[in-house]
Amino acid sequence: MKPTPTRRRSPRHAEIGRGRAPTPGLLDFVTRLLSREDPTLRRIRERIPAEGLPPISIGPDEGRLLDFLVKACGAGRALEIGTLAGYSGSWIARALPPGGRLHTLEIDPRCAQVARRNFQLAGVEGKVVVHLGPALETLAALAAEAPFDFCFIDADKPNYPHYLAWAARLLRPGGIVAGDNAYLFGKLHLKASKAGDAGPAIEAMREFLSGLTTPETFSSCAMIPTGEGLAVAVRR
Ligand code: SAH
Ligand code: DHB
Ligand code: MG
């Protein structure tokens, strides 16, 4: 008997142990349940376009994840690369204990100005230092503030491998690094020639992820499957 012809297709979620993919309705339900923003954080996020800045901050689900990660590693000293309007920074700073400190790095003076005001609105101005300038220059100067317990990388994607090298240098053993946009806007797996604007950053993001999986430097690494991909690792 001839075998029934089957259409070749990629393995379904369940076949490779992923369970089923959540539907948008389910994700909305869980966001309302678990990722509530207080009205101040929501206002800060929603007003980003009105401030003339691009609407590229993380969302409330990622904010909740940052809160979780900071507390899970007992962080008191945190570093953020890419401030924008201070939305993610407000989540991180609020998760720090009294006396905790977030150093956040931003190249754009307008962003830094908006962020400083938003940190006041969020009630964390006493915990946050905004550093204006190219992050690679600031990081060299910030080595004096090391060790850090937590580092969030969310600035220019081509520099992610350099930011990761700094994170590895500045984190204490057991410290956590998290990188946003690790799916590179859904283009991570494509040929650079097919990835449009993201093309030039593909090699960099792959190098970043391969750095996270280096066992001598990071004892554990995982992709948290947010819409953008949040790659996380623990410093060995
Ligand atoms: N973490 C923010 C979003 C950051 S968007 C949030 O989720 O709320 C990326 C930011 O990185 C932008 O504000 C951009 O100006 C900044 N940036 C880009 N290149 C940079 C560089 N070389 N040094 C420091 N900041 C940079
Ligand atoms: C962009 C940057 C981000 O960090 C992000 O989360 C989304 C978009 C961007 O540069 O377009
Ligand atoms: Mg981002």
- 172 pLDDT above the threshold of 80: yes
Work out the mean pLDDT of the chain and round it to a whole number.
Answer: 94
Confidence of residue 7 (pLDDT cuts 50, 70, 90): low
Ligand 3 mean position to 181 CA, how many Å?
Answer: 5
Q: Is the CB of 207 under 6 A from ligand 1?
A: no
The tens digit of pLDDT for each residue in 11-58 reads 666 677 778 889 999 999 999 999 889 999 999 999 999 999 999 999
Summarize pLDDT for 114-140 with one digit per residue, the tens. 999 999 999 999 999 999 999 999 999
- Give 152 Cα–ligand 1 centroid separation in angstroms: 11
Decide: 105 in ligand 1 pocket, CB within 6 A: yes
Best probe residue, ligand 2, of 53, 56, 108 (max atoms within 8 Å of C-beta):
56
Do residues 128 and 104 touch, judged by C-beta distance below 8 A? yes
For residue 87, give the ligand 1 atom closest to its CA: 8
Handedness of CA 138, 139, 141, 142 (dihedral sign): positive
